[in-house]
Chains A and B, each alone.
Chain A
Amino acid sequence: SQQGEEDPQALSIQEGENATMNCSYKTSINNLQWYRQNSGRGLVHLILIRSNEREKHSGRLRVTLDTSKKSSSLLITASRAADTASYFCGQETSGSRLTFGEGTQLTVNP
């Protein structure tokens, strides 16, 4: 599998429910950044978590990082229809470039 894979590929939930997306990677990272992309738009930065951090919060978002398992998760609590989007994790390795997976398509039904 390629560096940086989000799981699941697609997720459909009802408004008010929580959504959890996972990201796995292969090589060691400096940091990991979660982004949201609405259809046909650019990426919006959500949270950056550094390799020495285990958890970060921002509003309804919670990101965890487990470097021993080379995985991260993004939790969106009390989801809203406006959260419908694709979510990507980008891993920053050496040289500052970000490596992305294919993303998780989240659909929140009203």
Chain B
Amino acid sequence: NAGVMQNPRHLVRRRGQEARLRCSPMKGHSHVYWYRQLPEEGLKFMVYLQKENIIDESGMPKERFSAEFPKEGPSILRIQQVVRGDSAAYFCASSPQRYEQYFGPGTRLTVT
């Protein structure tokens, strides 16, 4: 049973470009969460999605960030017009609700 998969593992973008981060949840999990971790800090919640629905996006910056979890395919976290402050590790977790959240290996985004 494969765990949560994220790709790419490392992503380098220049300022102003777009970053697309993908997350495939564990088999049977329909709940996906995105978190961001800045260096030397804990994880900060960004968004919680179920298939085709955004349940809670209170942790998402109002501009440039969007997330989706389509009926088919992985969940996508999209960052438009990236800036240096977006450099961070982005983690995806999946769960059946009210149970453990299992985290993927993360995508490390570097904005140059």
Which residues 8-57 of A sit at the B interface, judged by CB distance below 8 A?
A: 30-31, 33, 35, 40-45, 48
Partner of B100, one of A4, A40, A45, A102: A45
Partner of B44, one of A42, A95, A100: A100
- Contact of A97 with B33 in the complex, beta carbons under 8 Å: yes
Q: With the chains together, A86 CA to B40 CA distance in Å?
A: 10
- Contact of B99 with A48 in the complex, beta carbons under 8 Å: yes
How far is the CB of A108 from the nearest CB of chain B, in Å? 20
Q: Number of contacts between A and B (CB, 8 Å)?
A: 62
Say whether, besides A97-B33, A98-B45, A41 and B105 are in contact (CB < 8 Å). yes
Residues of A in contact (CB 8 Å), total 24
- Contact of B101 with A33 in the complex, beta carbons under 8 Å: yes
Interface presence of B104 (CB below 8 A):
yes
Interface presence of A99 (CB below 8 A):
yes
Interface presence of B69 (CB below 8 A):
no
- Contact of A95 with B48 in the complex, beta carbons under 8 Å: yes
Which secondary structure dominates where chain B touches chain A? strand
Say whether, besides A30-B98, A88-B43, A103-B42, A98 and B104 are in contact (CB < 8 Å). no
- Can you spell out 22 A-B residue pairs with CB atoms less than 8 angstroms apart? A4-B42, A33-B100, A35-B103, A41-B106, A42-B91, A44-B103, A45-B103, A48-B99, A90-B43, A95-B48, A96-B95, A97-B33, A97-B48, A97-B56, A97-B59, A98-B35, A98-B43, A100-B35, A100-B43, A102-B41, A102-B42, A103-B42
Top 10 A-B residue pairs of the complex, sorted by shortest distance between their CB atoms: A100-B42, A43-B103, A42-B105, A97-B45, A100-B43, A102-B42, A42-B103, A95-B56, A42-B106, A48-B100
